[in-house]
């Protein structure tokens, strides 16, 4: 069960990084090299309707340890379920994508503005 819990913690870290990575890259621009492919992979899995590989691995490890599986995916089980929200509802889906896209658009938009050619840098004291 320890491995299943470790995968769940990793999964939570991936979700948090996917949501905040573009904003973190404002302080550490090299994070874009890690964040952009990860965010695209998460988006591809979600839009394709495929099962998340981390959820699949976690559930397999839970089963191997004799623990019961859960329904609704990682976010449904650990985030939306405890809040009483149905992960499959249109409102929750729209809200999830809006938050993810909004945070990433803001972060990458600010990064583009900061790094565009010809931008004058403020004088250093």
DSSP 76-121: IIIIITTTT--TTSHHHHHHHHHHHHHHHHHHHHHHHHHH-TTPPP
Contact indicator for 72, 81 with CB cutoff of 8 Å: yes
d(CA 60, CA 111): 39
Write down the pLDDT at residue 119: 64
Q: What is the pLDDT of residue 49?
A: 87
Q: What string of DSSP letters covers 7-22? A: HHHHHHHHHHHHHHHH
Mean per-residue pLDDT pooled into runs of 10, the chain (125 residues): 95 96 95 96 91 95 94 91 92 94 95 81 59
Cα 19 from chain centre: 5
């Amino acid at each position: 069960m320890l491995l299943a819990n470790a995968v769940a913690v990793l999964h939570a870290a991936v979700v948090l990084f996917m949501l905040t990575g573009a904003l973190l890259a404002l302080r550490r621009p090299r994070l874009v090299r890690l964040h952009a492919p990860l965010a695209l992979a998460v988006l591809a899995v979600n839009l394709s309707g495929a099962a998340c590989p981390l959820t699949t691995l976690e559930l397999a490890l839970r089963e191997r340890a004799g623990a019961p599986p859960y329904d609704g995916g990682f976010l449904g089980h650990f985030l939306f379920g405890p809040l009483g929200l149905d992960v499959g509802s249109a409102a929750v889906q729209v809200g999830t994508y809006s938050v993810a896209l909004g945070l990433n658009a803001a972060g990458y938009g600010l990064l583009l503005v900061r790094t565009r050619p010809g931008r004058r840098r403020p004088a250093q004291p």
